[in-house]
Structures are given as C-alpha cells and as structure tokens.
Structure 1
Amino acid sequence: MSDDSERGSTDDSGRIGGVSRRRFLAASSVSVAALSAGCTGGGDGGSGDSSNDASGGGGSSDDGGSTAGSAGDDVEDIVIYLTPGTPSDVRGRYEPLIRMIDGEIDTINAEAKVLGSYSAIRPALQSKQGEIGMDDITLLSAPDFFDVYGTSVTGGSAFYFSVMLTNEDSNIDERSDIEGKTMAFADRLSTSGSIFATYALQQADLDIGEAPQGQPNDFEGVWSNHDVALEKLGNGEADAATTWGGNGLPHIPEKYKSEFPQRVLDKSSFIETLDTEEPKFRPFWFSFPIPKQPVYARKNWDSPNKEKIGELLRNSDEELVKQYYPEDYNENELPFSTLQDTSIDDYQPIIERINAVGLELGEL
C-alpha cells in the first residue's frame, strides 16, 4: 500500500507501513489567480438525482430565504446544500444537523437538498436558490462570494482521508498497478473521491490524460458517487475504487489495521467503523490528512439568521447534536459535531492538486 505522508507535499508517493471558534472570510486569504485552475463543469457524478424532501419545511423562495408565512411571519425558509451523493444516504447522515438548526433557532425553517453533482452547487447559491453550502470545491471556486463559518469537526478531528481500495484477492498492491485496469471514482469534483486520487495516480507515473474532466490514457476511469464507486468494485465492474475514509473504512477488515499509516490512526474519526460492512476490500493507498468540509454561506444573504446559524454551529458539540438524532441513527456516520476555526491556507494542498490535474474552478 502506498501513502501520501507529507500533508503539504506535492509528492504522493511512498508505502504504507509504518478550538477556537471564530468566523473567517475565505476571500481575504486567497487570490483569484491562485484559483484560476479548477473544474470546467458538470461532472457526471452523483446519482443525478436531486432532493427536495429533506428535514425542515417548505423550500426557498426566489430570494433563497424569504419569510415563510405558513410557519409564522418571522420564520425564514433557508436551503442548505449537502455534499452530492446518494440522496437518501446523504440526507440521513445530516439529519441531526438539520434538526438541530430547526430546533435551536426558532426563526429558521431549514431544508436540506442534495444536488446531482458538485458543479451544480455554486450556480444554485449564486442564483439565490439556497443560502448555505458544505463543500470545499464550491468555496474554492468563488471565495469572494462566500463567508465561511469554519471547518467541520467529527470525532474530535477536523481531518479526513482519501483511500484507494481493491478486492482482497486482487493483484493490485500499489498505484502503478492500476495501469490497464478500471478505477471507480466518486463525482469528478470530489476532493477525496476524484481529485486527490487522480493526482496520486499521476504522481505514480500514470498518464491521467484529461482526467478527472475526461478519460485517462493509462487506465479506464468511471465516475459516479462515493457509494456507487464501491458498488462497482464489489460487483466486478471496476478493479479498484477511491472514496473518502468514512465511506471506505467500514469495508476494510480489521486485519489490515496494523498496516495503516500512523496519521490515519491518529486523525481519522472513523477507525471504530472498521470491518462493519460488506463487501470487504483491501486498502492500498491513503492520502495525507485533508481538511474536512467547510461550512459557508453566500455573502449576499442579508439576514440576522446568517450569524445565528454561525453562532450555533461554532458552539455546538456532540452532546447537543445527539439530542436531535432520529430513531435508529448510526452515530458512526455523523458528519458534524462542531466547527473549528481555520484558514484558507489549510486548503492550499487541495488547490495545488486542482491545479496539477488541470481543473478550472473559475468556470465551474
């Protein structure tokens, strides 16, 4: 198994063997030039499905946050865009967060939506169809347009990992073994499920061609979402898959834990989920720690509820969030407990990889 041991390094080589809470503005720390590389559009990722039936009430108005008369004259409908994926699964993971916002702020009626791809989030926010987003790619594509509340923390960690998996009987032991084979990815704009993995394969001297925007030359790539990527690996439609640690670790048998890099053992908040789901896969690469998703609001959302939400999220903790668990909620899947103060500099390694693989976020 190869790994990516240097957090700020641009070299993704090697082998596995061995809070303050205050608001910051992304625009103040990032130049437009630094973000000139990014995504050209659409991705064919995600399920292609969009969701309108999440927790909370009745949808946003043309202004993306109008007063909801049915819920009371002072109650504002807001839309929160979650990370793309299988809508029912994503909504289920984030349900405690949406319930908490609804329950703790009586002037808000929150609705969560799951769009079909990352490329759909920024246009939706810029057209005032929603107020809040929770992914790094949208933020990095237009930092001047957003105010950032902070970086998500779960299990005491503000970091997560990208992981490459294969079947246990596979002859794939390192990234270079992907040559001539099929790799399943998440959304084309997924940091952990596409961008980091594509860059890591490039660093292993594989010709990535136009990936992740198009097809690589030295291997075949198929893009969908995190869940479908693992399904393709399990069904024999792919020889390997890449996903984020929280999605992949449950499929890794406990016996491989001794081969994990120490940074994964130290900073992953999903170690306890090892060996809890079928089918079973073998890991052969881990990234360095990636900052978890930022939570941000569009800058032109002029409402006192904007800061109310920020204050709530910065001061929440697991005990508060647990009060809003639905029945039979799997707390190992909790994607948020509080926010950590951060700097856009923490996302610089992501920007470097975006640039290296030739994405153009400014055209997202």
Structure 2
Amino acid sequence: MSDNQSGREGVSTLTDGTSISRRKFIAGSAATAVTAGLAGCGGAIGGSGSSGGETVTMLLTPGTPGDIRPRYEPVLRMLNDKVDGAEVEMEVPQNYSAIKPALESEQAEIGMDDVTLISNPDIMDVYGTNVTDGSAFYFSMMLVPLDSEIEKRTDVEGKTWAFADRLSTSGSIFALYTLQEAGLDIGEAPEEQPNDFEGSWTDHNQAIQRVANDKADGATTWGGNGFPHVPEKFESEFPERVTEKSSFLGDVGTEQPELRPIWFSFPIPKQPWYARQTWESPVKEEIGEVLRNSDQETISEYYPDDYDTDNPAFTTLRDTSMETYEPVIKRMNAVGIDPAA
C-alpha cells in the first residue's frame, strides 16, 4: 500500500494556476442542469410551503437517493423541529453540475459541497465545515480486488478505472491528481478519456460495483463508502493519518465485495454547508445557528429507530474559511478544472 503522500501532500499552498492550462468543464451545461440534474429527487423545489411556512430546499451531496436520504434524516428532523416558520426538504441532485444552477436560479437555498462553493464563493454564505464522529476530515482511496496485480499508483497504467462523479473531490479530482503526480498522462480527464488508462465516471456506489462485476480493474471512492469493503486484516496497514482522523473505521469489513486499498489521500476537509446569498429570510441564520449548535447528544435525539449509527452524516459544523479548501482548489487547477467555469 502506498503511503508516499503523507509529507508531500500535507497542507498545500494555493497556486495561482498561471502555468496551468485550465479547461471550462461545465460550460454550456447550466441551461439543462437545473431541471435534469434535480429530476427524480422527489419533493417540491423552492417556493413557499403551504403547511409549515417557508419551504427551504437543502441539496444533499449527489449520490444514490436511497442511500443518501436516510443518512441525513436526523438533520431534516432536527431542523423542522427547531426552526420555526420553515419546512425543510431534502433533494438529491443527480450530479454536482446541477447544484450551482439550482442555487443561482433560486430553486434551492442550501448546499453542502466544496466544488460548488469554490466555483463562486461570493454568492454563498458559509455555515461551516461538516463534522461527524468528532472528525472534520475524510479520505479519498483507491481499491482493487484482493488478487489484483495492482500494488501502487503507477500500476494503473493500461488498466480500466472506475471513478465517482466527474466533479467529486474524493471520487475523481484527488485520484486524477495523484495519478498525474505519479507520472501517468491523464489527458483531458475528467472531461475526456485519460491517455494512459481507461476511465469511467458514475457515482461512488457504482464505481465499487463496476469492480465487483469485472468492468473495472479498480475504483476510487471516499472512505465512508470504501472502508466497508476492506477486510479487517488490512486495517493494521492503514497510514497513521487515516487511523487518527477517519470517522468510518468502524465500518471496516462489513460489506461485499472485499477489496484491497492501494492508496489513501491526505485528510480532506469535509464538505462545507452554505446558503445562497440571495436568500433573504430570518430562517437563514436560524438554520445556521441550529446546525452550529448541534452536538452528538442533540442530533442523536432525532435518529430514527433503524438509523445506522456507525455511518452518521452529521454531528455539528465547525467554523471554516476558503483557506480550508485550498488543497482542493490546487488539485482542481492541476487537473484542468476551472472552479469559476
């Protein structure tokens, strides 16, 4: 397992990107992203609620709705209990590209991903960085079958690789960056195919399933999705930075297929929660106060009876700033994604 980034990829300095040829990745997609990207999410989008006061639409991190919605159910219950004059609803965008247009067109009020915040921080008011189980960090990781010949990043050359969403920090951007740092030619990825290997982009769950179904030699995902597929015998080989700062180690070895990790990123700051600046309502700050003042005891009061307490989505928010996300900005620039596109 490679642990060669613990020093070189520590706290990174923000580069101005002047020597990097950037590509406008989402250009032209905004017109259709609002309707197509939020299609099939369920529930009303924006507007005023008829029963619980003002309707507040909160966009969750893109993924499989059947997996994402239950994880954030305690947050929804807490907000609807503690915030007067608001009816909070959750939506699950089909991809990251749909989030910014939904906020700009005022079809949603709250988001929780770093890429959208980075793309235009001047139109967002930041609530804070997400904290779960005492940690404000998570990890990107690369996984391969137990009997795979792939042992390190350079072995990905000539292979097929499954990624999550093209704009996923942990499921795409960090992996492409580290493969590029290892000397592989990523070409115009994630917009187009890499030159030194073949890539596919879906979501975190599907990336794992592509490996399970022999459609990919390996996958990139985030720790909360990847740890359950790693047998316990590999836990002793995890880098110290992972064992100290991951909040998902309790899930190790709980799901099939069994996969072996070959690389972990350095600790990535968890997603920021933010609201669009054009949303003018006293509810806006009240929601922020409830989120920031939450703790484990408070949020646990809103757990459904069948809630997976080993894989919580939220405990509280920690104060943050754009400096926290400089390592993400650096990697977006390095792989040619213009955050302002």
Task: Please give the TM-score of this superposition, normalised by the length of structure 2.
Answer: 0.92
Of the structure 1 ranges 97-106 and 263-272, higher mean CA displacement relative to structure 2 is found in 97-106
Structure 1 distance, partners of 2:301, 2:15, is 37
1:40 to 25, 30, 33: 25
1:91 to 45, 53, 69: 69
5 Å matches for 1:230-245? 230-245=208-223
**Residue number in structure 1 paired with 2:51:** 70
Structure 2 distance, partners of 1:279, 1:288, is 25
Give the conservation status (yes or no) of the 8 Å contact 1:162–1:242.
Answer: yes
Amino acid at match of 2:25: T
Secondary structure class of the residue paired with 1:100: helix
Q: Deviations over 1:275-326 (max 9, x none)?
A: 0111110000000000000000001110000000000000001111111112
Q: Deviations over 1:41-97 (max 9, x none)?
A: 259x9x97744336xxx5422xxxx3x2333xxx11010001111111111111111
Amino acid at match of 1:311: E
Give the conservation status (yes or no) of the 8 Å contact 2:17–2:333.
Answer: no
Secondary structure class of the residue paired with 1:345: helix
Alignment of 1:134 with 2:119, yes or no, is no
The alpha carbon displacement at 1:8 in A equals 3.5
Structure 2 distance, partners of 1:336, 1:206, is 36
Query: How many residues are treated as equivalent by the alignment?
Result: 332
5 Å matches for 1:1-364? 1-3=1-3, 4-6=5-7, 7-8=9-10, 40-41=25-26, 50-53=39-42, 58-61=44-47, 66=48, 68-71=49-52, 75-363=53-341
Amino acid at match of 1:224: T
Structure 1 distance, partners of 2:22, 2:224, is 28
Amino acid at match of 1:219: F
5+ residue gaps, structure 1, are: 12-28
The alpha carbon displacement at 1:334 in A equals 1.0
The alpha carbon displacement at 1:336 in A equals 0.8
Task: Please give the TM-score of this superposition, normalised by the length of structure 1.
Answer: 0.86
Secondary structure class of the residue paired with 1:177: helix
5+ residue gaps, structure 2, are: none
Secondary structure class of the residue paired with 2:51: helix
Structure 1 distance, partners of 2:75, 2:15, is 29
Structure 2 distance, partners of 1:110, 1:186, is 28
Identity of aligned residues (%): 56
Give the conservation status (yes or no) of the 8 Å contact 2:37–2:97.
Answer: no
Secondary structure class of the residue paired with 1:116: coil
1:8–1:38 CA distance, 2 compared to 1 (3 A): farther
Give the conservation status (yes or no) of the 8 Å contact 2:164–2:206.
Answer: yes
Structure 2 distance, partners of 1:32, 1:340, is 29
Secondary structure class of the residue paired with 1:173: coil
Structure 1 distance, partners of 2:273, 2:199, is 30
1:178–1:272 CA distance, 2 compared to 1 (3 A): same
The alpha carbon displacement at 1:231 in A equals 0.6
Amino acid at match of 1:151: T
Q: CA RMSD in A?
A: 2.5
Structure 1 distance, partners of 2:190, 2:328, is 14
Structure 2 distance, partners of 1:2, 1:98, is 39
Give the conservation status (yes or no) of the 8 Å contact 2:15–2:330.
Answer: no
Q: Deviations over 1:101-153 (max 9, x none)?
A: 11111311011111111011000000000000000000000110000000000
Amino acid at match of 2:249: I
Secondary structure class of the residue paired with 1:361: coil
Amino acid at match of 1:242: T
Give the conservation status (yes or no) of the 8 Å contact 1:167–1:280.
Answer: yes
Give the conservation status (yes or no) of the 8 Å contact 1:254–1:274.
Answer: yes
1:32–1:184 CA distance, 2 compared to 1 (3 A): closer
Structure 2 distance, partners of 1:114, 1:322, is 23
The alpha carbon displacement at 1:186 in A equals 0.2
**Residue number in structure 2 paired with 1:26:** none
Structure 2 distance, partners of 1:232, 1:328, is 29
The alpha carbon displacement at 1:361 in A equals 2.2
Give the conservation status (yes or no) of the 8 Å contact 1:249–1:274.
Answer: yes
Give the conservation status (yes or no) of the 8 Å contact 1:38–1:355.
Answer: no
